[in-house]
Amino acid sequence: MNTKIYYTLTDESPFLATQSLLPIVRAFAKSADIDVETKNISLPGRILAAFGKASDDLDFLGKLTLDPSANIIKLPNISASVPQLKAAIAELQKNGFDVPDYPDAPANDEEKAIRAKYDKVKGSAVNPVLRQGNSDRRAPKAVKSYARKNPHSNGVWDESVKTHVSSMSADDFYGNEKSITLAKADTFKIEFVAEDGSVTELRPAKPLLEGEILDATVLRMKALESFIAEQMADAKAKGVLFSVHLKATMMKVSDPVLFGAFVRVFFKDVFTKYADLFKELGIDANNGLGDLYKRLEGNAKEAEVKAAIDAALAAGPDLAMVDSAKGITNLHVPSDIIIDASMPAMIRNSGCMWNKKGELQQVKACIPDRCYAGIYDAAIEFCKKNGAFDPKTMGTVPNVGLMAQGAEEYGSHDKTFIAKGKGVIRAVNAEGEVLLQQNVEAGDIYRMCQAKDAPIRDWVKLAVTRARVSSTPAIFWLDPNRAHDREIQKKVEVYLKDHDLSGLSVKILSPKDAIVETMKRAKAGLDTISVTGNVMRDYLTDLFPILEVGTSAKMLSIVPLMAGGGLFETGAGGSAPKQVQQFLAENYLRWDSLGEYFALVPAFEQVASTTGNKKAKVLADTLDEANGKILEFNRTPARKIGELDNRGSHFYLAMYWAEALAAQKEDAELAAKFAPVAATLMKHETEIIAAYAKEQGQPADIGGYYLPKAELLKKWLRPVEAFNQVIDNL
């Protein structure tokens, strides 16, 4: 009986790469009686499922994660901002799919129901469903070894660098957070109590488990607006670029509003003068300057408004740019300024971002909320005092992240609200008792999060296990001055007692102290496991890999599911949009599938260990060997036409994998099967690689950004028939 590995179809460059890689993976896996079945969790796939136009593959995989046999390869997917969601909807409609428009301001029950369905699709809709285990993420030894032999630049730093992080000093999420641990199982609903005493239910009652941690906090909009104005003036006075760094995808409700505040304050005079026009055109600052320009197109006042915007840009501090050549600023699109991608890139560039002239310039990095801003501030200050990190010698910082069962998914769920007026937002239990409450005024952002007890216990166990297996010190990053972290720390201290810690170094430090100690150790060539909550996991597993190995796409991310089975996550999709742009312009795909290669190894190992399939173990061992050769001979994609791209890298994976299978002694049948494959690929290596190179340099029309055409995907992603025949004949 065949075993199944489920392989996700996602978006953008990872999806394009899948068209070339998946046929190879399926062909090799079939030799061990393993079926590789796809499930579509892409943005358009999720939209169609929400309206009954396609199977709900995300729901299927979510249920599968509760099965001990689960074996899922999860590629990066779009965590959609509203502009991305609208663009995907428009493309689906253009292709004949009967899906409704996204209602910006639902006016009736039907539109409210439509909006509710779309709200479940946007933002980090996938991760809370699939992540039914905690995260074990690290750079594979082969990747680390390659980076040491082929170091990238982390810039030049000294104490004269003016780059710095700016955060609110009060009235942010950090300062206002309240947290409790439930003594018994209960329910809670969320209500808004207006000044006149009227009560509006914001969220119906949902269950709480015994031992669960529940938080509530609020960020006050007036304080944020004052902060932004102050930082604009300070950036202009210091002569540094003004930039904002948020997570408008994971934090899909709160962070677009934070982003909108930056747009609204930066262009205050414009939004005031043209308030009526903007209301008429449906312009929402939360969607950024790019959406504003789009909605202005063809309007009688277009030139006048653009001139007013240009005047505001000239009067304010210089803005950091996302694309200087195209005039795309840091305030154009909320999904262009994802903090876990933008901050490490800035740190690698000597603390600089691009200005409007296309030159690197030092920066004021505005991260309004203090919950996680301190780690970036400490990293910048460390580099100022100690110089840039050297990939040749620096240690590695793997991460064990608390994320199972939606733990700490702040802002990406149905517990975040924008206050409609002055009053109180409160969480009320089954008996009508107030569990937590916050005073609010109109525009304030209220949000809650939950962390169940079982995932925390599992997280502690995973951290201790990793520390022992790798003989590496582990640090829990918990802030005693933050309400949520204090509740987490109480549990950590109890659950650590369940484990034998003899011979191990396991400690608890505040995030600022933890990152300083970790960076000192890394600078000295020493390794340290960071043990963090989910949001910080997201940030650190970009920050350190980008400094260590130049990218977070080459990380090995294993999620041991709490019910058994495994979720194997690949790479990081932060650069995916630019890679698609390059592919469409010149038929060159620089997405690095190394994350997929690495994820497949433990997936095959799991098949072997759970079913006794010896051929699966051979596939895993030989793929691991092939991955080593990919790095040793530098067969990962380069960056420009004329060099090896993603498809050429896939060819080498197939050749090295077949070569290893032909040479191994454990399974004669597999050796015999792959010996002629290896021989053929080695014989025709030069001509096949030349054929791939010949394809480069021309525009590649795939029939759509979100919904490409299957026949065009095959044409562009599997263009060399000589190679296709070898794979297909397997």
Q: What is the pLDDT of residues 398-440, one digit of tens each?
A: 999 999 988 876 656 789 999 999 999 999 999 999 999 999 9
**Considering the chain, what is the average pLDDT of its residues?**
94
pLDDT score, position 639: 83
Cα separation of 72 and 4, whole Å?
9
pLDDT in tens, 257-299: 999 999 999 999 999 999 999 999 999 999 999 999 999 999 9
DSSP-derived secondary structure for 655-672: HHHHHHHHH-SS-HHHHH
DSSP state of 406: G
For residue 138, list its beta bridge partners: 556
Do strands 529-533 and 474-477 pair parallel, antiparallel, or not at all (unpaired)? parallel
Could you tell me if 59 and 2 are in contact, meaning their C-beta atoms sit under 8 angstroms apart?
A: no
SS3 167: coil
Q: Is 99 helix (H, G, I), strand (E, B) or coil?
A: coil
Q: How many CA atoms lie within 13 A of 568 on its CB side?
A: 24
CA–CA separation, 133 vs 128, rounded Å? Answer: 10
**What are the structure tokens assigned to 706, written together?**
């979100």
Question: What pLDDT was estimated at residue 551?
Answer: 85
Domain boundaries, the chain: 3-132+561-728, 164-174+221-386, 178-219+409-448
Contacts 24+ apart (CB under 8 A), 702-706: 702/16, 702/584, 704/91, 704/95, 705/12, 705/87, 705/91, 705/580, 706/11, 706/42, 706/43, 706/44, 706/87, 706/88, 706/91, 706/92
Q: How far is CA 34 from CA 363, 619, 624, 655, in A?
A: 51, 11, 18, 20
Q: What is the DSSP string of 459-478?
A: HHHHHHHHHHHHT--EEEE-
Please tell me the predicted confidence (pLDDT) of residue 575: 61
Query: What pLDDT was estimated at residue 412?
Result: 60
Amino acid letter for position 291: D
Dihedral angle, C-alpha 298, 301, 305, 307, nearest 10 °: 90
Q: Tell me the pTM.
A: 0.88
Residues sharing a CB contact under 8 Å with residue 726, sequence separation 6 or more, in sequence order? 654, 677, 680, 681
pLDDT at 81: 82
Q: How far apart are CA 330 and CA 319, in angstroms?
A: 7
Spatial separation of the C-alpha atoms in residues 645 and 590, rounded to whole Å: 5
Which residue stretches of the chain have pLDDT < 70? 1, 409-412, 572-575
**Token pair belonging to 491:** 């549990």
The predicted pLDDT at position 411 comes to 57
Rounded Cα distance, 354 and 346, in Å: 9
